[in-house]
């Protein structure tokens, strides 16, 4: 069996070290506030990781446990509090559309998760800077960004190809089309050149880059195909189905596939290593590193330390 | 039987006439584009009404029938098209959170439905102007606004009481807590002084004005009560359950209640007039009038004709 298992802790190590050094060298003390308004075990675990990683890297982290109905007001207060550099919320809170409303209540300048409408919109439209002079890079939703960083780490992104095109020729399946992870991830991978099959209970869509469309750098089509038909064509399969009941059948995967799971449940079967060349069983620790990376970026924007001003 | 039935056409007449006169006197030609990306019969009926009312009042209306997957790009094009003053979308499109994402894709300056994040956020926070100098009034979501205009028309808002307090002392139930109508409506009524019971399948909440909270002018509490307990206390019951199966039992209503239905299905029982003092069976035509009213306002903002500049 020659499958290589890559742990998120390994991928995140270099990011964590870089963040730690940066904070130490510059003698700054960025502060992140996390709001926990649910009893979801996955959210609580994620909060623990955030706390632990922040302590290791020199980020001040404060977990605020509050009730659902206080949340919007507490976000508003944190938006206005200059001692806070970043705000995150452990979802789900209400679970439905109200959560999407709440995501946009976080100020753009403090949105470490990259989930407010502007940032998500920019992902779909392949807009990579917040400002016209291109000194402030956009904040990218954390979990999709973590998946991209993992794909870079394991060599799926080909650095020989010019930036913005490094997935050209790759076929990738993303099993999840949530507004928080699956849909933006499919768009990002397509914007970088991949052909992406986006799969959820409502059907299968293909995300590919259009040609010459002004803003929308990828286009989306519904296709009339089955998982059984598309999975054998995929070089990379990324799963994120939030239940242990869902399993991607190993028998469908092509030999040497790259298998990545971002669900808190194991979505690949136990024999995945008999087929995959690379297997990444979870991404959570990379997500937390991306949170911190976004925090540092926002800290600098708040203090007007854009690339231009730093040089 | 002394119940007075008030038709939406009657409430909307004065608004329609005012809009028509305004357009004629000022010799303007505001243009509204509606995007229809579903086959929903209620949406198609709403599109017909929009078209008919626009023709009567002098608004140029163009219905664009497109596929779901084209919608975002078409909205972006319309945002950039200076010949278009207002944009609306007939929902549902995808039906889930992606629809909320789409609502915020419409430019604030063209959002006649008032559904983008900024406008909905301002409703919750009781922020009534778009700008600091208070020359540009906020756009308010159409259906909640239509309900408020109906409540004004039928005397539930008491004009003897100062503006912003005209529902003080009233108890109102809103049966629907959608992000599009029920939740913003409950907030608006509470911001104007009412005690509002917001009811949906997940439970009952009470919206009342807090005291002295900087931005959130109402607060929300979960309460452990049943529909049977709260409805008999309500002066006004507003229903919006999108199925003909749902019926508010007449037996629960207090004598002389004001009954308003904004669902496209009849949510009150056939004998409602034996209990109600006023019955409003539908609100759709007032909603369309509010769309046009918002369109004129946005037309003026686009042409820098705010109240200040008009005087």
Chain A CB within 8 Å of residue B203 CB? no
pLDDT of residue B219: 87
Number of residues written out for chain A: 311
CA-to-CA separations, A266 to A248, A262, A275, A281, in angstroms, rounded:
10, 9, 16, 7
DSSP sequence for A146-180: HHHHHHHHTT-S-TTSPTT-TTTT-EEEEE---TT
B259 and B273 in contact (C-beta within 8 Å)? no
For B150-176, write each residue's pLDDT tens digit.
999 999 999 888 888 889 889 999 999
Name residue B33's beta-bridge partners: B62, B87
Confidence of residue B199 (pLDDT cuts 50, 70, 90): very high
Distance CA A47, CA B207 (A): 31
Do residue B125 and residue A76 have CB atoms under 8 angstroms apart?
yes
Cα–Cα distance between A213 and A204 in angstroms, integer?
23
Using CA coordinates, name the residue in chain A closest to B218: A73
- Which residues of chain A lie closer than 8 angstroms to B99, CB-CB? 97
Nearest CA-CA distance, residue B73 and chain A, Å: 7
pLDDT of residue B210: 60
**Which pLDDT score is estimated for A304?**
82
Q: Of B185, B152, B145, B150, which Cα lies nearest the Cα of B167?
A: B152
| Set of chain B residues whose Cβ sits within 8 Å of the Cβ of A221 | 69
Residue of B nearest to A95 (CA): B97
Number of other CB atoms surrounding residue A152 within 10 Å: 14
Task: Give the pairing of strands B60-65 and B31-36.
Answer: parallel
**Of B99, B216, B221, Cβ closest to residue A72:** B216
Starting at the edge strand found earlier in the chain, the sheet holding A60-65 runs A60-65, A31-36, A86-90
pLDDT score of B309 more than 80: no
Cβ–Cβ < 8 Å for A196, A189: yes
**Run of H or E including B234:** none
Q: Do residues A304 and A282 make contact, with C-beta atoms less than 8 angstroms apart?
A: no
Predicted confidence at residue A300, as pLDDT, reads 95
- Chain A CB contacts of B69 under 8 Å are 205, 219-222
Q: Which two tokens stand for residue A300?
A: 């600098």
CB contacts of B104 in chain A (<8 Å) are: 104, 117, 121
A97: which chain B residues are within 8 Å (Cβ-Cβ)?
A: 96-97, 99-100, 178-179
- Closest CB to B73 among A101, A213, A221: A213
Q: Is A100 on the interface with B (CB under 8 A)?
A: yes
| Pairwise CB contact (< 8 Å): A216 & B73 | yes
Backbone torsions φ then ψ of A23, nearest 5 degrees:
-65, -40
Q: Which of B98, B117, B221 sits opposite A117 (nearest CB)?
A: B117
pLDDT surpasses 90 at B2 = no
**A contact test, residue of B72, B80, B95, B212 with most A CBs within 10 A:** B72
**pTM summary value:** 0.89
The pLDDT of residue A1 is 65
Q: How far is B201 from chain A (nearest CA, A)?
A: 13
How far away is chain A from the Cα of B101, in angstroms, using its nearest Cα? 7
For residue B42, what pLDDT is reported? 85
- Count of A–B CB contacts within 8 Å? 64
User: How many angstroms separate the CA atoms of B187 and B164, rounded?
Assistant: 13
Tens of pLDDT, residue by residue over A63-95, are: 999 999 999 999 999 999 999 999 999 999 998
Q: State ipTM.
A: 0.85
A121 vs B contacts (CB less than 8 Å):
101, 104-105
Beta strands B203-208 and B219-223: pairing type?
Answer: antiparallel
Predicted pLDDT at B196: 97
List pLDDT tens digits, range B68-89: 999 999 999 999 999 999 999 9
Neighbours of B270 (CB within 10 A): 9
Cβ-nearest to A179 among B101, B179, B213: B101
Which of the residues in chain A have pLDDT under 50? 212-216, 311
- Quick: pLDDT tens for B104-154: 999 999 999 999 999 999 999 888 898 888 889 999 999 999 999 999 999
What is the nearest CA distance from A67 to chain B, expressed in angstroms?
10
Q: Say what the pLDDT of residue A2 is.
A: 87
Q: b/e string for B231-252 if b means 16 or more Cβ within 10 A? A: beebbbbbbbbeeeebbbebeb
Q: Is B10 on the interface with A (CB under 8 A)?
A: no
The reported pLDDT for the residue numbered A126 is 87
Place of tokens 């446990």: A65
| Confidence at residue A71, expressed as pLDDT on a 0 to 100 scale | 96
> Which of residues B179 and B216 earns the better pLDDT score?
B179
- Burial code of B171-185, b = ≥16 C-beta within 10 A, e = fewer? bbbbbbbbbbbbbbb
Distance from CA of A273 to the nearest CA of B (A): 35
3-class secondary-structure state, position A195: strand
Q: Characterize the bridge pairing of strands A171-175 and A195-200.
A: parallel
Task: Report the percentage of chain B scoring pLDDT > 90.
Answer: 83
Nearest alpha-carbon partner for A40 in A84, A109, A89, A113 = A89
Is the link from the previous residue into A92 a cis peptide, with omega within 30 of 0? yes
Helix (H, G, I), strand (E, B) or coil at B86: strand
pLDDT of B307 over the 70 cut: no
| Nearest CB neighbour to B101, from listed A96, A99, A100 | A100
Residue whose tokens read 């009481």 = B161
Q: How sure is the predictor about B189, in pLDDT bands with cuts at 50, 70 and 90?
A: very high
From CA A74, how far away is CA A90, in angstroms rounded? Answer: 14
Contact A221 B69 (CB under 8 A): yes
pLDDT value for B142: 96
How far apart, in Å, are the Cα atoms of B294 and each of A273, B15, B143, B287?
59, 12, 12, 10
| Cβ separation B97–A98 shorter than 8 A | no
Would you state the pLDDT for residue A210? 60
What are the strands of the beta sheet with B278-280, ordered from one edge?
Answer: B4-5, B278-280, B258-261, B236-239, B171-175, B195-200, B203-208, B219-223
Asked if B183 is an interface residue toward chain A (Cβ–Cβ < 8 A), one would say yes
Tell whether B125 lies on the interface with A, counting CB pairs under 8 A. Answer: yes
A104 close to B (CB below 8 A): yes
Select the residue of B100, B125, B221 nearest A97 (Cβ to Cβ): B100
Answer yes or no: do B120 and A101 touch at CB < 8 A: yes
Average pLDDT value for residue range B268-272: 97
Asked, as a colleague might, if the bond just before B92 is cis with ω within 30 of 0, I would say yes
């Amino acid at each position: 069996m020659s499958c290589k298992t890559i742990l998120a802790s390994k991928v995140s190590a270099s990011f964590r070290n870089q963040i730690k050094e940066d904070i130490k060298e510059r003698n700054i003390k960025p502060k992140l506030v996390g709001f926990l308004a649910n009893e979801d075990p996955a959210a609580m675990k994620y909060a623990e990781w955030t706390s632990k990683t922040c302590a290791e890297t020199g980020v001040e982290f404060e977990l605020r446990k509050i009730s659902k109905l206080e949340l919007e007001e507490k976000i508003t207060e944190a938006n206005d509090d200059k001692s806070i550099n970043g705000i995150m919320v452990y979802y789900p809170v209400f679970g439905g559309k109200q959560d999407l409303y709440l995501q946009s209540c976080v100020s753009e300048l403090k949105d470490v998760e990259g989930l407010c409408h502007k940032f998500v919109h920019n992902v779909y439209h392949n807009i990579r800077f917040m400002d016209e002079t291109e000194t402030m890079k956009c904040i990218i939703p954390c979990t999709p960004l973590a998946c991209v960083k993992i794909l870079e780490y394991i060599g799926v992104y080909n650095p020989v190809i010019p930036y913005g095109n490094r997935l050209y020729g790759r076929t990738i399946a993303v099993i999840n089309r949530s507004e928080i992870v699956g849909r933006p991830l499919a768009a990002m991978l397509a914007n970088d050149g991949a052909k992406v099959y986006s799969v959820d209970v409502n059907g299968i869509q293909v995300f590919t880059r259009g040609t010459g469309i002004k803003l929308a750098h990828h286009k989306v089509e519904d296709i009339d195909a089955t998982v059984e038909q598309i999975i054998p064509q995929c070089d990379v399969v990324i799963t994120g189905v939030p239940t242990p009941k869902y399993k991607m059948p190993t028998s469908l995967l092509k030999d040497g596939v790259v298998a990545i799971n971002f669900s808190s449940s194991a979505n690949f079967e136990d024999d995945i290593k008999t087929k995959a060349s690379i297997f990444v069983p979870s991404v959570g620790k990379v997500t937390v590193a991306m949170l911190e990376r976004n925090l540092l970026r926002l800290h600098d924007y708040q203090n007007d330390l854009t690339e231009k001003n730093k040089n």
